[in-house]
Amino acid sequence: MSGERGIRVLTPGPLALIEDLGRSGHAAVGVSPSGALDRGALGLANRLVGNPESAAGVELLLGGFAARFETPAWFAVTGAASRLLLDGRPVDARTAVHAASGTELRVAQPAAGMRSYLAVRGGIEGESVLGSRSRDTLSGLGPPPLKAGDLLAIGAEPGTPVPAVDFVPIFEPGEAVAEVRAHRGPRADWFTPEALDAFFTVEWRVSAEGDRVGVRLDPPRTPSHAAGVEPAAPVLLERSVSRELPSEPMVAGAVQVSPDGRPTVLLADHPVTGGYPVIAVVADRSLDAFAQLRPGHAVLFRHA
């Protein structure tokens, strides 16, 4: 394979996956859409190197990634704010960079955010399943997680040139409260009015229980000023309908509420059915934000 146009993975970091924009339209046969969690970041990386937005790239969780270009190539890295080194010299994120054959790219752990996206001009080739090269971590469809030594083949040169772009202004979440737009869900009437009000007024906190399938949220605990007194109990989303709910279809962005009253926002690798009531559905334009929110980050839902 040494004659192929490609990049050699030296260190994959915590988790590196080939992802494109997913495989929509297969829920009827039990297949979720999958694809990049931060679709905007992948699309931007592809545009910067002249690819179609749907081209496959590499999704990096918390950096720690290193690769060697076996052939000359243009690349761009977007998403989480990570320091980039090409053969030891700093290069800019969110811009197209040319790498000579044999040069090594290193993507450090990001200072903010969770996921970075590497696009290479021509796109990353890989196993296509149901029309997508995306890895679905729940079902195991698509190319496996990358490991040291993997050679990622690069596709044919696109017909469009590398755009002449010096700077791309984007919004970075930082530590501010993430305001997320959401619609009332199909089972909103299974919850008390107080629960519905709490859902849209409480500042929820991203828990450590999160991955590409979904992110669980915790309400903040109210601190007590009295020594030795435990913080107040968290606000729970109480149900007014207590009967069991048969499994029903789920979509990315559905906010399920488990019996303990904690909401879970389903993401790209979500199951296509679920048995917990859906109190709300995150608006599509807000869903990418959950790709970058770290544990402890505050989230405030607003009516879409």
C-alpha angle 171/174/178, rounded to 5°? 80
What is residue 2's predicted lDDT score, i.e. its pLDDT? 44
pLDDT for residue 225 is more than 70:
no
94-117 pLDDT, tens digit each: 999 999 999 999 999 999 999 999
3-state secondary structure of 196: helix
Considering only 38-47, 134-143, 159-168, which range has the smallest mean pLDDT?
159-168
Contact present, 236 and 261 (Cβ < 8 Å): yes
What is residue 278's predicted lDDT score, i.e. its pLDDT? 98
pLDDT for residue 182 is more than 50:
yes
What is residue 126's predicted lDDT score, i.e. its pLDDT? 82
What is residue 5's predicted lDDT score, i.e. its pLDDT? 73
**Whole-prediction pTM value?**
0.93
For residues 149-153, give the mean pLDDT: 97
Considering only 53-67, 168-182, 186-200, which range has the smallest mean pLDDT?
168-182
For residues 169-177, give the mean pLDDT: 70
Within the chain, strands assigned E span 6-11, 15-19, 57-61, 65-69, 73-81, 84-86, 89-91, 97-99, 104-107, 112-120, 151-153, 178-184, 204-210, 214-218, 248-249, 254-257, 263-266, 273-274, 278-282, 298-303
